[in-house]
Amino acid sequence: MNAATKAEAAIELSRLHAEAVTKHGGRMRRRCTSRPLIELFQIWKTAEERSDVDAARVRRFVDRLPEKTSTDVESEDVLDFIDSRKKDVDGSTVVRELGTISSFFKWAIQSRYCPSNPVRDVPRPKANYRRPTPPTPESVRRVLEAVKDHPILGPVYHLAAFAGFRRAEIARLQWSAIDGGSIEVPGEKTAGSCARLPLVPELREYLATLPKKSAFVVCGRNERIEPNGISQAVKKWNRTAEEKIPNPHSLRHFCATQLLAHGVPLVVVSKYLRHASTRVTETIYAHNTAVDFRAAIEKGFDQMKGTK
C-alpha cells in the first residue's frame, strides 16, 4: 500500500469514527498524526496530481523547516518565510505562494496530520499590482504571425488574443469542447460567466489548420501540457528567436481592451473574460480605453435626437 492510499484510508477511518461518535451522542476529540514536513510534502504531492508550480511553492516553504513536524509549525514560521521571500520577489508573488501553502495545510488538516492552519491568521504582504499595458494591434499581429506554426505557442496566443483564455484554461482545453461556432471554457465558471463562448472567425479558421494529435488542443510530450510548460515554451522561444513575444496573459488584456474600445458593453466583456464581477473588468481594463468624453456625450445626444 503506497503513502497516498494509506492517507486516504486514514481519512475514511476518521470519517467513520466521527459518524459513530455523533450517532451515540458523544464528542470527538481531534487527533492528529505528526509527520515530518518533508515526508508530509511527499504524501501531499502524490495524493493527487499537483502542478509543478504548486509543488515548488510548498517545497520552498518546507525546505526552510527541516526539523519541523506537521503539528508544530507556527505562524511565526510563516512570518519568517514572508520576510525572507520579500527580499527576492515582489508582494504579489508572496501572496500567491501563501495561497498555495495555505491549501497544503488545509489538506493536512482534513487528512488529520495538522491541528490548525498556521497561514490562516498571518497578515498578507501588500501586493505590488501594476495595471497591465496591453500590446498594440500591430504588435499582436506580428506575434501571431511569428508563432502560428509553433505547436504550443501558436494555439496559446490565438486563444488568448481572440477568446481571452488563461494558461490553465488553455492547458485543459480539449477538441471536444469546440463545436461549430462556439467553444466551451474548461474548468470552473465564475458566477455570471459564459460556459460557452462564440468562436470568432479568426480563431475558428486558425484552429481548423491544427492537427489533432491528442484529445487536447495544446499538448506537449505527454497527453496534455501543464500551465508552467507554456511559460517554459515562451522563455525558450525568447532565448533564440528574433521576434520576442510577451507573456500570453498580455494578449488577454489586448482582447479585453479591444472589445471595450469598440463599444462592447462592460457587462458583456466581463462575462466573456469569465470575471467574477464587472468591477474586476472595470478596475483592470477600462482605464486603457481612452475615450473622448465630449465626443461620446455629443454622439449620445445626437442619437437621442434621431429617435424623436
Claim to verify: residue 149 and residue 79 sit in the same structural domain: no
Whether 191 and 56 map to the same domain: the answer is: no
Same domain, 57 and 168: no
Which pLDDT score is estimated for 82?
A: 93
What's the confidence (pLDDT) of residue 278?
A: 86
Question: Is the model's pLDDT at 74 over the cut of 90?
Answer: yes
Greater confidence (261 vs 189) lies with 261
Tens digit of pLDDT for each residue in 132-174? 677 899 999 999 999 999 999 999 999 999 999 999 899 999 9
Query: What percent of the chain is predicted at pLDDT more than 90?
Result: 48
Name which of 2-6, 32-36, 128-132 the model is least confident about. Answer: 2-6
Q: Where are the alpha helices (DSSP H) in the chain?
A: 3-23, 37-47, 52-63, 75-85, 91-110, 137-147, 153-163, 167-172, 201-207, 227-240, 248-261, 266-272, 278-284, 293-306
| pLDDT confidence tier of residue 75, bands split at 50, 70 and 90 | very high
Is pLDDT of 297 > 70? no
Q: Which domain holds residue 95?
A: 3-110
Contacts 24+ apart (CB under 8 A), 255-258: 255/160, 255/161, 255/162, 255/163, 255/164, 256/134, 256/164, 256/281, 256/284, 256/285, 257/134, 257/285, 257/288, 257/289, 258/137
Location of C-alpha cell 505590488: 128
Residue 257 lies in a domain: yes
When comparing pLDDT for 59 and 260, which is higher? Answer: 59
Can you spell out the DSSP letters for 141-166? Answer: HHHHHHHTT-TTHHHHHHHHHHH---
User: What per-residue confidence (pLDDT) applies to 50?
Assistant: 82
Look up residue 123 and give its three cell numbers.
497578515
Predicted structure pTM score: 0.60
Both 284 and 141 in one domain: the answer is yes
Tell whether 102 is covered by a domain. yes
Same domain, 81 and 145: no
The per-residue pLDDT of the chain, averaged, comes to 83
Tens digit of each residue's pLDDT (9 = 90 or more) over 188-232: 555 455 578 999 999 999 999 999 989 999 987 767 888 888 999
Question: How many CA atoms within 13 Å lie on the side-chain side of 104?
Answer: 31
When comparing pLDDT for 79 and 29, which is higher? Answer: 79
* Contact by Cβ (8 Å): 100, 62: no
Count of structural domains within the chain: 2
Judge if 144 and 101 occupy the same domain.
no
- Is 251 domain-assigned? yes
DSSP notation for 58-97: HHHHHHT-TT-BTTS--HHHHHHHHHHHTTTS-HHHHHHH
